[in-house]
Amino acid sequence: MSREEAFQAAARELGYDFNGEIRIGGNYSPLVRHRGEIHVSGQIPRVGNEVMVTGRAGADVPLARAQHASAICVMRALALLRQSLGSLEQVERILRITVYVQCTADFTQQSEVADGASDLLFRILGAAGVHSRTSVGVYQLPKNATVELDMIAATCGA
Amino acid sequence: MSREEAFQAAARELGYDFNGEIRIGGNYSPLVRHRGEIHVSGQIPRVGNEVMVTGRAGADVPLARAQHASAICVMRALALLRQSLGSLEQVERILRITVYVQCTADFTQQSEVADGASDLLFRILGAAGVHSRTSVGVYQLPKNATVELDMIAATCGA
Amino acid sequence: MSREEAFQAAARELGYDFNGEIRIGGNYSPLVRHRGEIHVSGQIPRVGNEVMVTGRAGADVPLARAQHASAICVMRALALLRQSLGSLEQVERILRITVYVQCTADFTQQSEVADGASDLLFRILGAAGVHSRTSVGVYQLPKNATVELDMIAATCGA
């Protein structure tokens, strides 16, 4: 299965379409490409205009739902890479993701939430998707999102 | 208007002077330059020895004041780049900023707070100031600062 | 004293052995090496299977103990660099660390906690250990750890 096919299969399973152009608000860019590396801005689990998973992991949001949020965030990041590079085949390696989880005071499964993103990266990109990772529990996130995820990726060629 | 002029104009509007040497405490460096990239340490809205904006966004600190904090942080980061590079003309591109906002449990305008920094970067650096961005809501920050901001920038030349 | 000797001396003082292979769980890598830079995943103060320092700085965990946590995290990061590069002599420079501190609502000494890591980096690596740094106070961390620390390092050669 090509990366594109794996990406589309994951999108179907999540139940969303990630093929549209991703627009952003504010005076910054969803990604910046520079000398073989791409910095992807923090992604929340938004599809179109709607944030699909909001609230606090450990309270309103059970673990499986937070993992789903994490998966949507990483699909958005991949959609941005695909849009910028033309194809996911141009991704040389995912270097790092940071996963911020809005949680309760005693929720300690931030790593398990981040697995929702890590599993997809490996499934879609194979060895190129094996990344370094940091996951932390934060107090709030933009638009009450349950998860925010940012990324640094390396691109093929220069 | 040159970048230097835009920087000084922004400083006048904020009401502070960012021309002094920035000293730091602790066993680390305000920035590290390596092969065309500069990592800037987390900046709080300090001017001289005083942290100008402290407290929690959504409670003691209204949005406009938190944006002001965010603007001071980014001016400090630019002042450090300027001090290290000799001139802001040597900035090729701002690659990334991360904006940490000390906030209440239900404050969800972290992106709007970060706009205070993003707007200034674009105003002072133009297209070179368009960056990737992550903004999150944290529980506390050093010295009770309302905002902390760090940055990765690319420099002209090697 | 060589870097290796300084590393072993620090380990002895902390009272732990950092010579074993560090295993990880989950679908990601403890570090990713790419074109002269290494991204180290977020490290918690774990030794073997046990997280040595858990709980909230400012409540259950006094400052000195949080600094100890911070020191263990950075030793783990160095142990990973050493394991990957063969020797700490191959570290050209520590570019950045980010230090996340699980804390109470009014604990504002995140920088002081991070000093526990910064001091060790300088002591073991000398000038190569002088880094940029961000320290923030978060709401929770994986496995209730008091501190999590990630790192970007530059390696000698390509």
| Best residue in C133, C140, C146 for a mutation probing chain B (most B CBs within 10 Å) | C133
Q: How long is chain A?
A: 158
Asked if C132 lies within 8 A of B98 by C-beta distance, the reply is no
Of the candidates A31, A140, A143, the beta carbon closest to that of B105 is on A140
Set of chain A residues whose Cβ sits within 8 Å of the Cβ of B130 = 27-29, 32
According to DSSP, the β-strands at C132-138 and C91-102 are parallel
Per-residue pLDDT band for A140 (boundaries 50, 70, 90) equals very high
Instruction: Tell me whether residues A110 and C140 touch, CB distance under 8 A.
Output: yes
Using an 8 Å CB-CB cutoff, list chain C residues near B141: 108, 110, 136-137
Helix (H, G, I), strand (E, B) or coil at B143: helix
Tell me the C-alpha distance between A122 and A140, whole Å: 28
Chain C positions touching chain A (beta carbons under 8 Å) = 25-32, 34-35, 39-42, 98, 100, 102, 138-144, 148, 150
Query: And the tokens for C99?
Result: 């230090």
Of B93, B110, B119, the CB nearest to A32: B93
Q: Do A28 and B135 touch (CB under 8 A)?
A: no
Q: What is the largest CA-CA distance in chain A?
A: 46
> A20 falls in which pLDDT band (50, 70, 90)?
confident
CA distance B90 to A8: 42
Q: How confident is the model at residue C23 (pLDDT cuts 50, 70, 90)?
A: low
Average pLDDT over residues A108-133: 96
* φ, ψ dihedrals at B130, nearest 5°: -80, 120
CA distance B1 to chain C (A): 31
**Side-chain half-sphere of C146: how many Cα atoms within 13 Å?**
29
Q: Nearest to residue A97, comparing CAs of A142, A36, A58, A42? A: A42
| Strand boundaries in A2-90, DSSP class E | 31-34, 37-43, 46-47, 50-51
Nearest residue to C69 (alpha-carbon basis) of C81, C57, C78, C59:
C57
Interval C66-91: pLDDT, tens = 999 999 999 999 999 999 999 999 99
Question: With b meaning 16 or more CB within 10 Å and e meaning fewer, what string describes C59-71?
Answer: eebeeebbbbbbb
Number of H helices, E strands in chain B: 3, 7
Chain C closest-CA separation from residue B58 CA (Å): 14
Nearest to A136 by CA among B150, B135, C145, C142: C142
Residue A25: pLDDT above 90? no
Are residues C138 and A138, on separate chains, in Cβ contact within 8 Å? yes
Amino acid, res. B112: E
The packing angle between helices B110-125 and B3-14, to 10°, is 140
Q: Where is average pLDDT lowest: A143-147, C17-21, C29-33, C77-81?
A: C17-21
Determine contact, residues B90/B110, Cβ cutoff 8 Å. Answer: no
- Give the SS3 label for residue B24: coil
**Using an 8 Å Cβ cutoff, are B63 and B109 in contact?**
yes
- Chain B residues with CB under 8 Å of a chain A CB are 36, 92-98, 103-111, 114-115, 118-119, 121-122, 130-139, 152, 154
Looking at beta carbons, which residues of chain A come within 8 Å of C139? 103, 105, 137-139
Sign of CA dihedral C3, C8, C12, C15: positive
> Which ranges of chain B have pLDDT less than 70?
22-26, 158
The yes-or-no verdict on residue C136 having pLDDT over 90 is: yes
Determine the distance in angstroms separating the CA of A98 from the nearest CA of chain B, rounded to an integer.
10
- Integer Cα distance of C153 and C94 in angstroms: 4
**SS3 labels along chain C:** CCHHHHHHHHHHHHCCCCCCCCCCCCCCCCEEEECCEEEEEEECCEECCEECCECCECCCECHHHHHHHHHHHHHHHHHHHHHHHCCHHHEEEEEEEEEEEEECCCCCCHHHHHHHHHHHHHHHHHHHHCCEEEEEEECECHHHECEEEEEEEEECCC
Q: How confident is the model at residue A158 (pLDDT cuts 50, 70, 90)?
A: low
**How far off is chain A from B96, nearest CA to CA, in Å?**
7
- How far is the C-alpha of C79 from the C-alpha of C18, rounded, in Å? 6
What is the structure's pLDDT at B92? 97
| pLDDT of res. B86 | 93
User: CA-to-CA distance for B52 and B45, rounded, in angstroms?
Assistant: 6
Least confident of B62-66, B114-118, C7-11, C112-116: C7-11
Strands C147-155, C132-138: pairing kind = unpaired
Q: Where are the beta strands (DSSP E) in B6-146?
A: 31-34, 37-43, 46-47, 50-51, 91-102, 132-138
Whole-number pLDDT of residue B110 = 98
Residues of A with CB under 8 A from a CB of B: 25-32, 34-35, 39-42, 98, 100, 102, 138-144, 148, 150
**Alpha-carbon span A30 to B148, nearest angstrom:** 21
Average pLDDT along chain B: 94
**What's the rounded Cα separation, in Å, for the pair C150 and B75?**
26
Chosen from C80, C100, C139 to mutate, greatest number of chain A CBs within 10 A: C139
| H or E, element range at B76 | helix B63-85
Residues of C with CB under 8 A from a CB of B: 36, 92-98, 103-111, 114-115, 118-119, 121-122, 130-139, 152, 154
B110–A141 CB contact, under 8 Å? yes
pLDDT tens digits, A6-19: 999 999 999 998 88
